[in-house]
Amino acid sequence: MGERVKGMAMKGIVDCNSFYCSCERLFRPDLWDRPVVVLSNNDGCIISRTDEAKALGVDMAVPYYQCREVMERHRVAVFSSNYHLYGDMSLRVMDTLRQVMEDPSGGSGRVEVYSVDEAFLDLSHIPAGGLRDFSLRLRGAVEAWTGIRVSVGVAPTKLLSKVANRLAKKDKAGTGCIVVLDTEEAVREALSRTAVADLWGIGRRYAARLREQYGIETAWQLRQMPDEWARRQLGGVVGLRLLRELRGEPSIGMKDPLEIKKNIASTRMFGRPVFDLEPLREAVATYTARAAEKLRRQGSAAGSIDVFAVTSGGGPGAYTYDPRSDHRYAVLPVPTSVTHELLRHALPMVEQLFRPGRRYLKAGVILGNLVPDAPVQGNLFAPQPPDPRQRALMHAIDNLNVSMRDDIVKYLASGLTRNWKMRQEKRSRRYTTRWDEIMEVG
């Protein structure tokens, strides 16, 4: 069986298989045997693909138009991103993980939601001999309760669990979508089969440098390097932490799921280029309102606001892609989470950065210098103190928009037609969040 790894306070990661595609297949049983891909914003690039699509040579991040002919020839099902559906299914997967992780003896293992389709697990409460059985139960519960298929990687550290998960996904039939690295021998074999470029925290460009300058091609070779080398060549403390994680020494802890963000941003590419001031104002107003909702959700107020717009090329008919960002930044007299207060500062900045004749592709808002929303330090020189009724108004608007969806209550500055919104020409129905789009059974 091999020597057990140090400590045995194991970590796990659950990763949904081709998550966006799995969400589309869930409500379309006719697609289970067909290749499926999902496109990025404005139907630009491939961002999710099933194993069947991979077998056809459809690569990740490739522009849709470049592989359209191949996909049409092989009847590949193509979808625009349906974030309402994916977000709701993600919540269901994460809630399932939390329920299964509850320990009957009274304790519980923590769940850290890492992304829309991934979550780290603290498995220190699971006996060493029961890790695979528990992983099987976890995988079965998620698939039975949500219909989403997942892969599970278990190891002594977060980085090694990512390695295990990658191997589980790479050979689904051979591993049953579960890999447990609980012995030194298993860790050595897994790292020997993992290219440095496939490690969490090592990019392709940096991996090429390691290969060319130091002859390091596998994760196992990287693990053998000394600490001092890691400090000098892998980015100081960050590199040393990565090396120790490879050795099975936990150096990246589980994060608090309620951790407060230091900045909140809202940004999108436009569905079509914008050349006029008014649609740019509408877009920035919409993104400001969305950022303010996120701000209130975590109980914060913003002390600064940064508005930016991305331009490219010349006026109408110009198709050169040479993106440039223009920013305007302001410190607020009093930190606030009230949308119209934020709009009062954001909209004049749009007028300041707008240049007639430019082709605008994207805009966004970043709220910074966040502080707790209550109590907020006042400003002796502010023209008037904050009205306490504003918080109740924002709460009512947020509740209406969450329950009714589609920004049922919005500021007029956000516009009514919103012709600049991103394209979603192939979007499926929002089966789980809209009564008028719910699944119908004949």
The pTM for the full model equals 0.82
In the predicted structure, residue 439 carries a pLDDT above the cut 90? no
DSSP 92: H
CA distance 354 to 278: 10
Domain residue ranges in the chain = 1-193, 264-414
Minimum mean pLDDT among 3-12, 161-170, 244-253: which range?
Answer: 3-12
| Residue 278, token pair as written in the block | 């008014």
The predicted pLDDT at position 324 comes to 83
Residues 434 and 405 sit within 8 Å (Cβ to Cβ)? yes
Beta-bridge partner residues of 306: 329, 366
Average pLDDT of the segment spanning 320-341: 86
Mean pLDDT of the chain: 88
The predicted pLDDT at position 236 comes to 85
Using CB atoms within 10 A of its CB, is residue 103 exposed (0-12), middle (13-18) or buried (19+)?
exposed
DSSP 434: -
Residues 349 and 330 sit within 8 Å (Cβ to Cβ)? yes
Tell me, yes or no, if the two domains 1-193 and 264-414 fold the same way.
no
Share of the chain above pLDDT 70, in %: 90
Please report which confidence band the pLDDT of residue 106 belongs to, taking 50, 70 and 90 as the band edges: very low
| Residue 418, token pair as written in the block | 């919103």
Greatest mean pLDDT among 19-23, 98-102, 104-108: 19-23
Q: For residue range 397-420, what is the model confidence (pLDDT) as tens digits?
A: 888 887 776 778 888 888 887 777
Higher pLDDT, 417 or 193: 193
Please report which confidence band the pLDDT of residue 313 belongs to, taking 50, 70 and 90 as the band edges: low
Please say whether the structural domain 264-414 has been given the CATH code 3.30.1490.100: yes
CA angle 249–253–254, rounded 5-degree value: 135
In the predicted structure, residue 5 carries a pLDDT above the cut 70? no
CA distance 303 to 295: 11
Average pLDDT of the segment spanning 306-334: 78
Q: For residue range 215-267, what is the model confidence (pLDDT) as tens digits?
A: 999 999 999 999 999 888 888 888 899 999 999 999 888 876 656 788 999 99
Please report which confidence band the pLDDT of residue 1 belongs to, taking 50, 70 and 90 as the band edges: very low
In the predicted structure, residue 268 carries a pLDDT above the cut 80? yes
Please report which confidence band the pLDDT of residue 41 belongs to, taking 50, 70 and 90 as the band edges: confident
Q: What is the secondary structure of 346-394 as a DSSP string?
A: HHHHHHHH--TT--EEEEEEEEES-EESSSPPP-TTSSSPPPTHHHHHH
CATH number of 1-193: 3.30.70.270
